[in-house]
Amino acid sequence: MVVRNQNEQPIAEGRQQSLKPKESVQNKGVNGMAKVYSEKDVDASVLKGKKVAVVGYGSQGRAHALNLKESGHDVVCGLREGGKTWKQAQADGLKVASVAEAVKGADLVAILTPDTSQPELYEKEVAPNLKAGACLLFAHGFNVHYKEITPAKDVDVVLIAPKSPGALVRSQFQEGRGVPCLVAVHQDATGNAKKVALAYADGLGGTKAGVLETTFAEETETDLFGEQAVLCGGVTELVAAGYETLVEAGYQPEVAYFECLHELKLIVDLIYEGGFARMHEFVSETAKYGDLSRGPRVIDAHARANIKEVLEEVRNGTFAKEWIAENKAGKPNYNRLLEKDLNHPIEKVGRELRANMAWLNKSACADKGAQKSTCSAEKEKETAAVR
Has 140 been annotated as catalytic?
yes
Which residues does 127 contact at the CB level (< 8 Å), separation at least 6? 151, 152
Q: Which residues contact 298 (CB under 8 A, 6 or more apart)?
A: 238
Q: Which segments of 84-223 are extended strands (E)?
A: 95-97, 108-111, 135-138, 156-162, 181-187, 211-213
In this structure, the dihedral spanned by the alpha carbons of residues 254, 257, 259 and 263, taken in order and rounded to 10 degrees, is: -120
The residues pairing with 11 across neighbouring beta strands, listed in sequence order, are 3
CA atoms in the 13 A half-sphere facing the CB of 63: 32
CA atoms of 257 and 246, how far apart (whole Å)? 9
SS3 content of the chain, % helix, strand, coil (to 5): 55, 10, 35
Pairing of strands 74-78, 51-55: parallel
- The identity of residue 194, as a single letter, is K
Which entry of 64, 73, 140, 186 is annotated as an active-site residue?
140
Dihedrals φ, ψ of 82, to 5°? 85, -5
CA 321, CA 326: separation in Å to the nearest integer? Answer: 8
CA-nearest of 30, 69, 34, 32 to 53 is: 69
Q: Backbone phi, then psi, for 373, in 5-degree steps?
A: -75, -20
**Residues involved in catalysis:** 140
